Structure 1
Amino acid sequence: MYSVLLVDDEKWVRTSLRKVIERTGLPFEVAREASHGLEALDILKEAPVDMVLTDVRMPVMNGMSFVQQLRQTAREQSVIVVSGYDDFAYVQGALRLGVTDYLLKPVEVEEMRACLEGWLQARAGGQAAGAPKASCDPADRSPVEQVLGYIREHLGGELTLTEAAARVHLNPSYLSQLFKQQLGRGFVEHIVEMRMEEAKRLLAATSLRVSEVAQRVGYTDVAYFSNTFKRSAGCTPTEYRRCPPA
């Protein structure tokens, strides 16, 4: 069975899509559900799926912003946009982002079946061609790359050099030296930079409050977060949100 993530802010719509997928009789099952794009990104970090079906208009992070953020990650992801808005601008935007298909609500069983069958055929064709895929095995990455991946996945939690070093079986002092040699900055400095970059992304792409953004990047003190952000970006989080760089 191929796993599917449904992304829509209305639960009844997700329930309807789940039933439509089941009625196609094809080997797809809804593994997870999300009510907006940011929640979907969080889910995909922990539990990758074969396909995403996403709405366009949602709170916090809309469908187009979600797909844009998804395309910036290294991992490819099949996406089908499902929208109730018959607006050609949305279709154009979705196609430019490389989505698999674009369906209009309400989605009929036959439409869904045709869409999923097309995906299966494309997948079979790609496997037959034997296209090489990038390895995702952590063992194939350097210690610094492994630690960077760990930091990205835990930006909202407590991150220490000792714990990071233990994950890659290195002495903390040696790992600190590797960071400075390979990245030109220390472990703590790099964490702050990664947190500020994630904060910028959240401020530009979501409607989360500044306090919620702070929590998601590991700061419980909003004032401290704002001061750190201003030193990094040259403006406050609120000012950045009003006029983010192009």
Structure 2
Amino acid sequence: MLNLLIVDDEMVILHGIVKIIREGKTPFTRIESALDACEALSVMEDFAPDLIMTDIHMPEMNGLELIQEVKERGACGRFIILTGHDEFEYARQALRHQVIDYLLKPINKMELLDLLRTVAKTILEEEQDGAKHARSDSQYSFHVEKILRHIDQHYHRDLSLDQCSELTGLHPNYISQLFKKETGVSFVQYLHHYRIEKAKELLKKDGGLPVQVIGNQVGFENPQHFMKVFKKLVGCTPGAYRESDAKGDGA
């Protein structure tokens, strides 16, 4: 019913948490895991979590930085953090990031399952309320159209569900549900497709413009991320696409 992503750089702890949740029969029936923040972001290319449970202290990118990155991408708006007693100050900071709750290590099995069931109940109630509003109030189509126009005008800039929330006055979680209901894809998926189509236009139009520059012009700050998304959606690298198009024109 619901999707859960768990992130912890300690494999034994990670596998233990996954085992507890699977055996606990919570509404989170699809569970993915990652050993660090970078792997978590990679997992979310093909997986849309309803909730992310993350450790705070991890190499390269810590849990708070991961939460910030995920929120900016609009990939998820609900988080639970895992922390040790010596990281309590981090936990307090996390609560300022609108984190739902935190769990102290070592994890208490019943406390974990009770928290997940409570969060799941809230998520399902929000989804039911969202469906009722979508059926009864035609203004929500107006909001989605407003977001689509905003993407069309600002796709080359940093866009997120939080910005859409400011634009429409709706909660980010509700926007995410409404957008997917009306368009059939998530906000991030739509944005990726839109940006890649713009990138394809530039690749055809300007053969001398470096691929990294094109990626930046359509809204991808990270060249590797641009390459990965392009290959996933188009089936080849930007360079190969440009060469293929050039050969087609010359044929």
Q: C-alpha separation between the residues in 1 aligned to 2:25 and 2:78?
A: 20
Q: C-alpha separation between the residues in 2 aligned to 1:145 and 1:24?
A: 36
Match in the other structure for 1:114: 114
- State the AA in 2 paired with 1:58: M
Match in the other structure for 2:13: 13
Q: Larger helix proportion, structure 1 or 2?
A: 2
- State the AA in 2 paired with 1:197: E
- 131, 150, 153: which one pairs with 2:196? 150
Deviation at 1:197, TM superposition (A): 2.5
Deviation at 1:124, TM superposition (A): 3.3
**How do 1:60-79 residues align onto structure 2 when only pairs under 5 Å count?**
60-79=60-79
Normalising by the residue count of structure 2, what TM-score does the alignment of the two structures yield? Answer: 0.58
Q: C-alpha separation between the residues in 2 aligned to 1:139 and 1:31?
A: 20
- State the AA in 2 paired with 1:124: L
Gaps of 5+ in 2: 134-173, 228-251
Normalising by the residue count of structure 1, what TM-score does the alignment of the two structures yield? Answer: 0.59
* Residue pair 2:54, 2:80 contacting (<8 A) in 1 also: yes
Match in the other structure for 1:197: 221
Match in the other structure for 2:28: 28
Distance 1:140 1:29, change over 3 A: closer
Structure 1 moving runs of 4+ over 3 Å: 85-88, 131-134, 138-141, 144-152, 159-162, 185-190, 192-196, 215-218
Alignment deviations for residues 194-225 of structure 1 (CA, whole Å, 9 cap, x no partner): 687326xxxxxxxxxxxxxxx5565xxxxxxx
* Residue pair 2:48, 2:76 contacting (<8 A) in 1 also: no
Match in the other structure for 2:103: 103
- State the AA in 2 paired with 1:83: T
Q: CA RMSD in A?
A: 3.8
Identity over the aligned pairs, expressed in percent? 24
**How do 1:1-246 residues align onto structure 2 when only pairs under 5 Å count?**
1-29=1-29, 31-130=31-130, 133-136=177-180, 137=183, 147-150=193-196, 160-161=200-201, 189-193=213-217, 197-198=221-222, 218=227
Match in the other structure for 1:211: none
Q: How many residues align?
A: 178
Match in the other structure for 2:154: none
Gaps of 5+ in 1: 153-158, 165-171, 177-184, 200-214, 219-246
